[in-house]
A and B are shown apart, each in its own frame.
Chain A
């Protein structure tokens, strides 16, 4: 079943009198539980696609369905609610709030959903799963880059979204840490059946996804599925 469906999704920008077609009639399905890497050169439309999937942008044309809801018909408030419930974000620059500790940062999205206060246990559990139980009261300034990104990953999952969007999540960490983060994402993807869409320039990271969508000039150039190697028993 498709978790995300893009139908002729188009996004144009105006630059002076010129119209830039950042995403040009993309149609594709992303199934629940998929691990998708979106790759392409700068300006290919990766980030625009991610912003559209995250309902941060409104498309110029076409439709975007998330869990069978046509998001293009939603108002701003409903889109915000859908972001809170169904979508998680991880950014290259972590975007943790410096005044809050790890637990408070992870709990931030709970603030914007009903009965969010009951999610504290979920936040603690996620912090444990990303291996930061001993840092739960630490401020972001007391964490390494990899640890901060783990906090961001835990934050993205706290509301049990069906879709997690990652924008160059390994761009600010070293190779070893990047691999650890990808391993963590793969684990969460497998255990929670959450759909992961990761935008990356890193070929190594992209090659570990089960599906690679390559964009060029706002269009899908290639869309390849890779059979995952089963873990050795």
Chain B
């Protein structure tokens, strides 16, 4: 223990020996890890969103109108037809509406949406929704809404409040219709789509659908006989391949619908995730590797300056391994300090951004995860160690006789 402490003290002393040089070297690593932390947090937030999509779409079959039909309307009878298909355990109609029509808001996440679904569907979805406040919508209720955490924050709503949905745009025409809903529940954060959703009952969804229709056909159109989409579920634990087969069977056996293969959707999400993570991480790693090169340079200079010291250590019994270990530890220490500082600054920026500069839509942009923490600090530390290998090897191979008499 004392030996480790002494070694650490010597490393700290060696690093402090050239304060400005060490500061600049550590700054290089710090900036790299800062970039890696913030870019990584951006990617992690995006990935959490994607993971939610993968979980949801990877556990259900989405059925919509057939190719060539632009209007998202299906006869509600299709729900019963689909239920008869082999492998289908449940099918639910659903309606989705823009919660903020007429507003162009740029967001890194999902746009705010009103989702009308059967409360029973919650038991089938892969994303288990839990309640921070209140409860689920009651089956036969009307004008009740459960808000996702982001949308609740955006409109500063809590259980018992009312919310006008869809949200009236500032330049709304006089005939714009919205309804008052009572907030009965607020969901816990999921870091994915449901955070931006306002969940209402099927009957309320049909009401909104009716409101959205043009005047001439509104009165003649029976919204209870249509659905915008159908979510199809198999029994729990069904594989993605089997869900694909169910989608194929639906397409073959049910007329006038198009079932999307879950694997196609999942692959699409994953591809997007890989590209985004690749771009952000590569940019950050580039910055970090440049920082690593400064460690190589610093360590080579340290070896050149400490030739006599190396010779002395060998003379008093240090092995090649000992000398190499000491320089490697020093380089690793620089990487670790740079990593901790860069990670700390990155987290501070993320916290400040998420706390004090929250966007109007309540969304978060960054997500610090344990994986990111380990990766950022671990990568900087390993980078320091790797950067120290060549200088340490040079130090370890020095001839003690020459080193001791080095001027």
Contacts and interface: CB of A to CB of B under 8 A. Distances in A.
Contact of B401 (A51, A77, A155): A51
A65 interface: no
B321 interface: yes
B158 interface: no
Contact of B14 (A76, A83, A99, A108): A99
A112 B308 CA distance: 17
Contacts of A93: 308
A24 B2 CA distance: 45
Given A112-B322, A117-B2, A80 B308 contact: no
Nearest to A95: B312
A81 B318 CA distance: 8
A112 B316 contact: yes
A95 B404 contact: yes
Q: Which of A91, A109, A111, A159 has the most CB of B within 10 A?
A: A111
A117 B3 contact: yes
Contacts of A97: 309, 312
B317 A84 contact: yes
A89 B401 contact: no
Contact of A80 (B3, B312, B317): B317
B83 to A, nearest CB: 75
B315 A54 contact: yes
Nearest to A82: B317
A113 interface: yes
Contacts of B13: 99-100
Q: Which of A54, A56, A109 has the most CB of B within 10 A?
A: A56
A85 interface: yes
B201 to A, nearest CB: 73
A14 to B, nearest CB: 14
Interface of A: 51, 54, 56-57, 76-77, 80-81, 83-85, 88-89, 91, 93, 95, 97, 99-100, 104, 107-109, 111-113, 116-117, 155, 159
A54 B312 CA distance: 12
B316 A155 contact: yes
Interface in B297-326: 308-309, 311-322
25 contacts: A56-B401, A77-B320, A77-B321, A80-B317, A81-B317, A83-B317, A84-B316, A89-B315, A91-B312, A91-B404, A95-B311, A99-B10, A99-B13, A99-B17, A104-B6, A107-B6, A108-B312, A108-B313, A109-B317, A111-B3, A111-B6, A111-B318, A116-B3, A117-B1, A117-B3
B400 interface: yes
Nearest to B318: A112
A112 B320 contact: no
Contacts of A113: 317
Given A51-B401, A95-B404, A112-B322, A89 B316 contact: yes
A124 to B, nearest CB: 14
Interface SS, A side = helix
Contacts of A111: 3, 6-7, 318, 322
Interface in B1-60: 1-3, 6-7, 10, 13-14, 17
Nearest to A167: B404
Contacts of A54: 315
Contacts of A81: 317, 319
B6 to A, nearest CB: 7
Q: Which of B315, B321, B401 has the most CB of A within 10 A?
A: B315
A95 B308 contact: yes
B319 A76 contact: yes
A57 B401 CA distance: 7
Q: Enumerate the 7 nearest inter-chain pairs by beta-carbon distance, A residue then B residue, closest first.
A: A84-B317, A112-B317, A109-B316, A80-B319, A99-B13, A117-B2, A95-B312
A212 B317 CA distance: 28
A113 B319 CA distance: 11
Given A56-B401, A89-B315, A108-B313, 15 more contacts: A56-B314, A56-B315, A84-B317, A84-B318, A85-B317, A88-B316, A89-B312, A93-B308, A95-B312, A99-B10, A99-B17, A109-B316, A111-B322, A112-B317, A155-B316
